[in-house]
Amino acid sequence: MQKLVIEGGKPLEGEIFLHGAKNSALPILAGTLLCDGETVLENCPRLTDVFAACRILTHLGCRCTVQEHTVTVQVRDLCADTIPEVLMQEMRSSIIFLGAVLGRSGSCHLSYPGGCELGPRPIDMHLDALRQMGAHFSVHGGQLDCTAPEGLHGAGIHLPFPSVGATENVMLAAVLAEGRTVLHNAAREPEICDLAAFLRGCGADISGDGESTIVISGVRKLRGSRHTIMPDRIAGVTYLGAAAITGGTLCLRGVSTQPMENMLPVLEQTGCRVFPEPDRLHLLAPRRLRAVPFLRTMPHPGFPTDAQAIFMAMLSLADGVSVLEENIFENRYRHVDALVKMGAKIRVSGRIAVVTGVRSLSGASVAATDLRGGAAMVLAGLGAQGKTEVRQIAHIDRGYEAIEQALQGVGAKISRVETAPVSESAGRTDTKTCRIGKH
């Protein structure tokens, strides 16, 4: 077990190089299952979720190699179409392997995914869409058994909500399916576009990504390719928020500003000055942040739910009253109790949170409740007076690569501390490979 220890009250100043996007890397790693030969993914972040995805690939019969920020995946014949529960529970987005395994093997057996507890994240949309493509599903003892007896085929699909995961699963299932799939009300997130770009580089026929209708014409096979993962826009706004809450200045390197265009205006509303350059983004924070009258999370191109906790931490030290409305996940205010413990003034009623800025926060011992909530606690600790300890940081490590090292590099007094010995066998997974022919 580890924790982060933070001595707050010090303005950040310097440069941070932005790592690759978790929410892009995971579906692309699943997509490598569909490609014959070798796929090389560059700018792949070194995150526990990425390592969990690699363990799933290895279990299924792929050869996975991780060297610094490059992941190489070799696919010949899959040796399994079943993902054990222990691997599924390691990351909440593991359901993304459903479309890829089903598209490659014609069958897939898995349990429900793990990860952050953000309330119901039903996969009904995933299953309904895949049913329209010829898949059959049954549930036995918590295991989901999926088959496509006559193979997957194209279909006209309309999602009731622009779900990112359902959009990715349909794309992954459709690229090798017979015929054309037209997906209406598709998610429009930049990570969807990155997945589409990767699949096109492997030989897929996809158009319309970034818009509400995506068209996929199935092809006979995909080949391995080389692809660079896009920068992580949520990690980027987290580090900008860290500079903002401390009254500092920051330069983000390796960043693309276009995917962040739905968040940068909100930073400017708080009084921050933002200066974009090619491959760089500069932020100059005011002495005191200003409140944001109203902030609503919505599907892209609206304000992202993943950034809500980050901005709540910032607004807890802003002058005035901010109102936040969470429309994506019902349990995405679980970080509020920790912020209140540190002195924040926040009232929650259903989907609405009212944040009245206070003059100062005080360091406290808190526990990360989920990935972005944990990051919000780190930001609050950086802006607080005194010492903050953030426990259960395994949540944070799912989406931030050595967050303490990045922050230390810009002057933060933060360190990672071991709190108890960890067994060598803890979390070890059997990753033997085998070959049993094509499915």
Count the residues in the chain: 439
Residue 132 DSSP SS3: helix
- Under a CB-based contact definition with an 8 Å cutoff, are residues 101 and 33 in contact? yes
Phi/psi at 252 (5° precision): -90, 125
Annotated binding site for UDP-N-acetyl-alpha-D-glucosamine: 92, 306, 328
Quote the DSSP letter at residue 22: H
What lies within 8 Å, CB to CB, of 113 at 6+ separation is 88, 89, 91, 92, 93, 94, 95
Tokens 């490609």 belong to 35
Give the whole-angstrom CA distance, residue 42 versus residue 27. 14
Q: Which residues make up each annotated binding site for phosphoenolpyruvate? A: 22-23
Residue with token string 């309904």: 128
Contact in structure between 185 and 221 (CB atoms under 8 Å): no
Instruction: State residue 110 phi and psi, 5-degree precision.
Output: -155, 165
124/105 Cα distance (integer angstroms)? 21
Binding positions are: 22-23, 92, 306, 328
- List, in sequence order, every residue forming a beta bridge with 108; answer none if it has no partner: 146
Strand partners, 199: none
CA 369 to CA 127: how far, in whole Å? Answer: 28
Residue in 116, 146, 202, 272 annotated catalytic: 116
The CB density around residue 228, as the number of other CB atoms within 10 Å, is 16
Place of tokens 């606690």: 377
Biggest alpha carbon–alpha carbon distance for the chain: 65
Check if 202 is active-site.
no
Angle at 316 between CA 315 and CA 317, to 5 degrees: 85
Supply φ then ψ for residue 183, to 5 degrees: -105, 115
CA 251 to CA 281: how far, in whole Å? 6
Contact assessment for residue 97 and residue 30, using Cβ atoms and an 8 Å cutoff: yes
Amino acid in the structure at residue 63: R
- Cβ neighbors of 395 (< 8 A, separation 6 or more) are 116, 368, 369, 370, 371, 373, 374
Which residue in the block uniquely carries the two structure tokens 């708080």?
270
In terms of Cα–Cα distance, which of 318, 273, 272 is closest to 293?
Answer: 318
- List the catalytic residues: 116
